[in-house]
Amino acid sequence: MVATEFALDRVLKTPISAPHALPPFARSTVDGYAVLAEDTYGANTGLPAYLSLVGEIRMGARADIQISPTQAALIHTGGMIPQGSNAVVMLEDTQKLGTKEIEVYKPVASGDNILQEGEDIHKGDVVFTSGLRLRSQDIGGLMALGITEIEVAKRPRVGIISTGNEVIPPHEDAKPGQVRDVNSYTLAALVKRAGGEAVRHGIIKDEFEQIYAAAKRAHEENDIVIITAGSSVSAHDITSDVINALGDPGVLVHGISIKPGKPTILAVADGVPVIGLPGNPVSALVIAGNFLTPLIHMLLGITDPSPVPRINARLSINLNSQSGREDYVPVQLVETTDGTMAEPVFGRSNLIFTLIRADGLITIAPEVTGLPAGSDVIVELFPW
């Protein structure tokens, strides 16, 4: 249970029914006079209807005036329609004569300028389904119904293990041959954005026993386990062995036809999803966006994920792609006189700066062998 006011981006765990109608009473949609519609029939500027002014409906109070035929009461936008009235004449279609009488220059029909009780929401309507990730307006809607506390899905805990003899914590000076840990932090940020809670389980040397010990603890304490492998081939093999030792069925998929990210491992160990990510920071983030984000959404119970934000653009250069493999290419969006161009960002290194220089990714489908310059492409903005 959380306070609704702090629930932005949380996911509703249970559907919510309206405890009362909205609006809860018939209200005026304009500033004017509450009248009986029949009293205004045929009125025009040459022959106005004359009504006696019996008072004012104060905002925020019960309308305790009773309107009888040939009577009118001043009412403000949002004011409660008084008993006996069935329409509101707009202020600009009237003229006040002294303090006790008004002239009406335009007829109104029954219901005009009135929002009826329950016109928006009926009592008992299911107004929010479970699995909704709350936006600003959803918080407003809950407040309108007086629902100031709600049950939300627990944030899935994602345990992150970085491996590699060459990897050191970011605050340390890198000696020759060493690189600072990037993946623990990019993945933790991605997890946070996806709605999960990241738990870093440290940087572990490329040895089976050490990785197994860290993975076992992460497996016991979290809802999802992520292991980013060292970059060598033997390191991948250790990751795979560790995952198989964690529980059944173990590794389901080892290697996927995606670039970057080929050496990805997808696994389940005793009911806990485990993902082995490539150590390369670009691959790790692209694969996490494709597999980890949807997994977190699934555990949160999100039923209808937001559409992926995307921008239509034209490709600036020719791109080759291997048939049978899905390629993700980081691109920069550049506005030109010819429209929005997508300029691929290349980095042989696949260091994280390739993604830093990019605005989003374009996908080249497995059956496509390349895209010529000028192709219409859809750029998916980074969801992380």
Site for its own copies in 61-100 (CB under 8 A): 61-63, 76-80, 91
Return the half-sphere exposure (C-beta side, CA atoms, 13 A cut-off) of residue 113. Answer: 27
Range in contact with its own copies (rule: CB under 8 A) among 129-137, 208-216, 242-250, 361-369: 129-137
From the CB of 214, what's the least distance to its own copies, in Å? Answer: 17
List the Cα angle 295/298/299 in 5-degree steps.
Answer: 90
Site size toward its own copies (CB under 8 A) is 99
- Could you tell me whether strands 32-35 and 71-75 are parallel, antiparallel, or unpaired per DSSP bridges? antiparallel
Amino acid identity at 381: L
Token digits for 248?
A: 């059944």
For the segment 221-250, give every residue that binds its own copies (CB under 8 A): 230-235
Beta strands 339-344 and 310-315 are parallel
Q: In this chain, which of 99, 137, 320, 337 binds its own copies, going by CB under 8 A?
A: 137
Closer to its own copies at the Cβ: 182 or 269?
Answer: 182
Q: Does 144 bind its own copies (CB under 8 A)?
A: yes
Using the rule CB under 8 A, is 212 a contact of its own copies? no
Residue with the two structure tokens 């993700």: 328
- Binding test (CB under 8 A) with its own copies, winner from 13, 23, 106, 303: 23
Which residues, in sequence order, are CB contacts of 151 under 8 Å at separation 6+? 1, 12, 13, 14
Contact string 168-197 vs its own copies (x = CB under 8 A): x-xxxxxxxxxxxxxx-xxxxxx-xx----
Q: Which of 4, 264 has the CB closer to its own copies? A: 4
Q: 107 or 164, CB closer to its own copies?
A: 164
Min dist. Cβ of residue 359 to its own copies (A): 7
| 262 binding its own copies? (CB under 8 A) | no
Q: Which of 70, 165, 244, 363 is in the footprint of its own copies by CB under 8 A? A: 165
- Is 338 among the residues that bind its own copies (CB under 8 A)? no
Q: Residue 275 in 3-state DSSP?
A: strand
Q: Please, what is the minimum distance in Å from the beta carbon of residue 118 to its own copies?
A: 10
Q: Measured between alpha carbons, how far is residue 95 from residues 24, 25, 114, 214, 276 in Å?
A: 31, 28, 21, 81, 77
**Which one among 33, 212, 328, 384 touches its own copies, defined by CB under 8 A?**
384
Nearer to its own copies, 106 or 310 (CB): 310
Site for its own copies in 97-116 (CB under 8 A): 115
Q: Closer to its own copies at the Cβ: 38 or 125?
A: 125
Smallest distance, Å, CB 268 to its own copies? 25
Q: How far apart are CA 152 and CA 132, in angstroms?
A: 10
Q: Are the C-beta atoms of 319 and 329 separated by less than 8 Å?
A: yes
Q: Which is nearer to its own copies, 193 or 216 (CB)?
A: 193
For residue 268, how many other CB atoms are within 10 A of its CB? 16
Please state whether beta strands 94-97 and 126-128 pair in parallel, antiparallel, or not at all (unpaired).
unpaired
Max distance between CA atoms of the chain, in angstroms, equals 97
Q: Is the N-terminal amide bond of 305 cis, ω within 30° of 0?
A: no
216 Cβ contact partners less than 8 Å away, ≥ 6 residues apart: 246
Q: Does 120 bind its own copies (CB under 8 A)?
A: yes
